[in-house]
């Protein structure tokens, strides 16, 4: 049974759990502000010369993930100036971040 | 008496090893915590790349690594003989490591716990999202897992010890199942990918020294009897041997099903191998192994921090409080949560921090060997030549391995900076502790009498 004086600790742990639940809502809010593409839409475009897929995931976001788009090029968001200069502006650019 | 709760599992281990009938259970607890960090998904990922580099030499190199670690385990026999068995006293960290380095285990364990927890929970989040529940956010799962595992430390020693057995058991059984399927479906060895440069070869040659780090997490700091010492050592040796055998078999199965070039290039060799071995079923089993392994590693890391803070609190090296262990676990959990929220898991630098923490942990084994060597010579003179040779050899391997792994890493400068900073913090804390001890010598005399 929990003792009274460990309640503050438990509350903090619950808050960490709540952070996790809040994380579920975050992608929805972010996605509403940027143009998105469904998986099927992207599948239809794959192989096209006018498509450039950029995998902008970093660290474990990229290294722990099994899902990697074959045609995608890795691009570090912090080095935007470097890689953005080489992109064809008339192409459809797809940035894959999660 | 406001007794710290940090050593509750330790007490459980020692009390259960007192009765021969319950000794097996005590050994299982020590073994489960010893295996905690070993079964982490980071180790599986590292093993895949290692197998890609060395292929048929992997079993030999892993055996060497296991033998070195069994030797580190044996050094606890020397440690108990020197400090506990005759006097009946607990291990005094200041006497074992010296006053200046007394805070080294604390700083290294806290550093490892924060960064490894951050990385491992996020990795599990991805696996849960990609293997089990596609719509569930990976970071959401990582936070929930972190809260659940740290929550175990608020429900007493039984809960977290049983949970640890469950986590480790799940990871080992899952891995054994995949190994079994892989052997049944065995294919000829694939072509090995031989590393091109001597620098890479040298770096990977010492990687087996990283696989067994954390074997000492459940080693009691309290007073132990000769019988308990024997039980503890047996548990540690068994844990190292069992894990070593599984690693060798997994490496063989992995190289049978995935090409060396692919293993070297990927960061998720274990997932790829599981998929190649048994398709979607293999992915699910490996997913369970990764999540159970993460829980085992995080629980073990929290235990490591809790134990060292409780012991230091009892020995007046940290403020004495009833809930020192719980508070320290909470601090580490909150720090990891902040790191995740700050996006550290999405940064390459996290890997350097983790590597630095592990190398410092490895260096800690070297430090212990050197201190034991000094004390053995002081107590026995030039007798026990084999013990001296063993301690010296394993100390050189620990320091040399840590130095080579740090210097040959692509991020050597960052790793060296983190290592230097951590050692500096440990020394400053040691100096403060020394100053406090000199300021209140009477207080410590009273503590020693107790």
By C-alpha distance, the chain B residue nearest A64 is B123
* B189/B51 Cα distance (integer angstroms): 12
| pLDDT at position A31 | 52
- Out of A19, A57, A64, closest to residue B337 by CB: A19
| Residues B126, A60: C-beta atoms closer than 8 Å | yes
Residues of B in contact with A67 (CB under 8 A): 130
B265–A contact, CB cutoff 8 A: no
- Do the beta carbons of residue A95 and residue A84 sit within 8 Å? no
| pLDDT at position A15 | 73
- Range 267-286 of B in CB contact (< 8 A) with A: 267-268, 271, 283
* A46/A41 Cα distance (integer angstroms): 9
State the complex-level ipTM.
Answer: 0.74
Count, residues in chain A: 98
Count, residues in chain B: 450
* B39/B172 Cα distance (integer angstroms): 8
pLDDT tens profile B300-312: 999 999 999 999 9
Which candidate, B240, B282, B232, places its Cα nearest to that of B258? B282
Q: Please compute the mean of the pLDDT values over residues B332-345 and round it to a whole number.
A: 92
On whether the pTM is more than 0.95, the answer is no
Tens digit of each residue's pLDDT, chain A (98 residues): 444 466 666 777 777 777 766 665 555 445 556 788 888 888 888 888 888 888 888 888 888 888 888 888 888 888 888 888 888 888 888 888 77
Whether the per-residue pLDDT at B16 is higher than 90: the answer is no
Model confidence at B192, in pLDDT bands (50, 70, 90)? low
| pLDDT at position B223 | 74
Q: Measure in Å the smallest separation between the Cα of B208 and chain A Cα atoms.
A: 21
- Out of A12, A59, A66, closest to residue B345 by CB: A59
* B13/B265 Cα distance (integer angstroms): 42
B330–A contact, CB cutoff 8 A: yes
């Amino acid at each position: 049974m929990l003792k009274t004086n460990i309640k503050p600790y438990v509350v903090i742990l619950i808050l960490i759990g709540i952070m996790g639940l809040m994380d579920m809502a975050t992608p929805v809010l972010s996605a509403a502000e940027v143009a998105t593409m469904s998986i099927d839409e992207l599948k239809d475009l794959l192989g096209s010369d006018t498509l450039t897929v950029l995998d902008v995931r970093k660290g474990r976001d990229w290294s722990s993930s099994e899902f990697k788009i074959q045609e995608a090029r890795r691009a570090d968001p912090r080095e935007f100036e470097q890689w953005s200069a080489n992109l064809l502006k008339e192409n459809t650019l797809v940035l894959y971040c999660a | 008496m406001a007794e710290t709760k940090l050593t509750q599992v330790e007490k459980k281990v020692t009390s259960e090893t007192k009765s021969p009938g319950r000794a097996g259970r005590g050994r299982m607890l020590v073994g489960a915590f010893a295996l905690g960090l070993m079964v982490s998904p980071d180790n599986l990922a590292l093993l895949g790349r290692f197998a890609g580099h060395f292929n048929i030499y992997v079993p030999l190199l892993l055996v060497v690594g296991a033998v070195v670690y069994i030797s580190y385990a044996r050094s606890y026999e020397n440690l108990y003989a020197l400090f506990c068995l005759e006097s009946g006293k607990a291990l005094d960290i200041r006497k074992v490591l010296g006053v200046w380095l007394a805070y080294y285990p604390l700083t290294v364990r806290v550093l490892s716990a924060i960064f490894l927890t951050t990385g491992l929970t996020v990795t599990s989040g991805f696996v849960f999202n990609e293997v089990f529940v596609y719509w569930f956010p990976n970071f959401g799962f990582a936070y929930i897992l972190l809260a659940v595992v740290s929550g175990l430390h608020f429900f007493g020693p039984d809960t977290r010890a049983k949970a640890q057995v469950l986590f480790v058991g799940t990871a080992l059984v899952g891995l054994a199942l995949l190994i079994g399927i892989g052997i049944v479906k065995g294919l000829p060895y694939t072509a090995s990918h031989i590393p091109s440069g001597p620098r890479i070869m040298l770096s990977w040659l010492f990687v087996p020294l990283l696989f067994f780090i954390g074997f000492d997490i459940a080693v009691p700091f309290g007073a132990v009897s000769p019988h308990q010492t024997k039980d503890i050592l047996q548990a540690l040796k068994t844990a190292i041997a069992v894990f070593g055998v599984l690693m060798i078999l997994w490496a063989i199965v992995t190289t049978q099903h995935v090409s060396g070039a692919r293993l070297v290039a990927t960061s998720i060799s274990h997932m790829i191998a599981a998929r190649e071995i048994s398709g979607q079923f293999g992915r699910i089993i490996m997913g369970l192994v990764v999540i159970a392994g993460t829980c085992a590693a995080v629980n073990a890391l929290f235990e490591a921090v809790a134990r060292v803070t409780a012991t230091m609190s009892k020995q007046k090296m940290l403020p004495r409080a009833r809930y020192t262990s719980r508070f320290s676990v909470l601090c580490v959990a909150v720090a990891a949560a902040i790191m995740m929220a700050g996006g550290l898991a999405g940064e390459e630098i996290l890997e350097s921090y983790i590597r630095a923490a592990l190398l410092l942990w490895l260096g800690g084994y070297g430090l212990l060997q050197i201190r034991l060597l000094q004390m053995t010579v002081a107590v026995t003179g030039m007798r026990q030549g084999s013990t001296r040779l063993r301690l010296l050899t394993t100390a050189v391997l620990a320091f040399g391995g840590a130095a080579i792994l740090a210097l040959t890493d692509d991020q050597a400068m960052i790793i060296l900076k983190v290592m230097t900073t951590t050692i500096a913090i440990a020394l400053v804390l040691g100096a403060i502790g020394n100053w406090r001890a000199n300021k209140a010598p009477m207080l410590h005399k009273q503590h020693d009498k107790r």
